[in-house]
Structure 1
């Protein structure tokens, strides 16, 4: 199985989750973990795509929310191209490819909105198989750290995603690649 994990991270928490998901997905295939600045716009050859980013202003980040995170909240890094912009540039797959999404959000206060739900909707509109439910991983405050147990939960989720994608491919629901 060839897996692509694309993430956007400002403080490193979302990257930590992406790497843990990738570790869980690694079942003898190839797992590529890339940030949104470096992510390919074609997913041809991938059997599973996992996309994750932080929730800002109830949704995927925008250039303005990333700039605000750096200026007002001392984020050490703001990607030039976030998940939102990457999705806008992403080519539609020739056949439905399983895709899963996750976000990171502050634990308290619990706020509405979800970057993962928006990303899932965008992937579905491009023709991805978005059967997997979005997953949220919680962070203490803007800068983190992640809540206890979130990294292990991300690894388990990665294993579940790979198992489901493998079962779908083996069951003939997708064409041969």
Structure 2
């Protein structure tokens, strides 16, 4: 099994979540040491993401921060840069989804980071699912939202641990139960 994780991160919070998901998946995919997996999980920024998903990718994860109740836009990324965000304002998951070539049979799961405010609507993960399905990814589904304490962060307590566990659970769907000794 091969997994590609495409992520967008302005303040580093979504990147931390994507890295934790990758760690959990890698650990699960290689847990018995016998699987012939050279590089089971590839983590790339949205700027580095391919517009053609390689045929050997069995699962695509797409994640980004929630900006203005949805996926980021050029103006929300520019605003984040003005607030000290580190990433370029040029491309986000919205633009990447617009240019990527769909594979209708590929399973795609989205995730996002969001400010933890009671009753705050909107989610980049939810918006990304709609955009991916519209683009032609029939098997796109919404995954998890991970909470940040404010626009620049930090991540809320134990979100990295939860992301690692979620990654392992996703990978476990492909590898089955832990082998008995």
Per the TM superposition, whether the score is higher than 0.5 is yes
Q: CA RMSD in A?
A: 1.6
Aligned to 2:128: 119
Runs of 4+ in 1 over 4 A off after TM superposition: none
Unaligned runs of 5+ in 1: 168-177
**Conservation of the 8 A alpha-carbon contact between 2:148 and 2:156:** yes
Aligned to 1:170: none
CA offset digits 1:45-86 (Å, max 9, x no partner): 200000100000110000111001122x22233342100000
What is the CA distance between 1:158 and its match in structure 2? 0.8
74-83 vs 39-48, which moves further: 74-83
* TM-score, length of structure 1 as denominator length: 0.86
What is the CA distance between 1:142 and its match in structure 2? 0.7
* TM-score, length of structure 2 as denominator length: 0.84
Unaligned runs of 5+ in 2: 31-36, 177-181
120-129 vs 16-25, which moves further: 120-129
Supply the distance in 2 between the matched residues of 1:110 and 1:142 (Cα, whole angstroms).
16
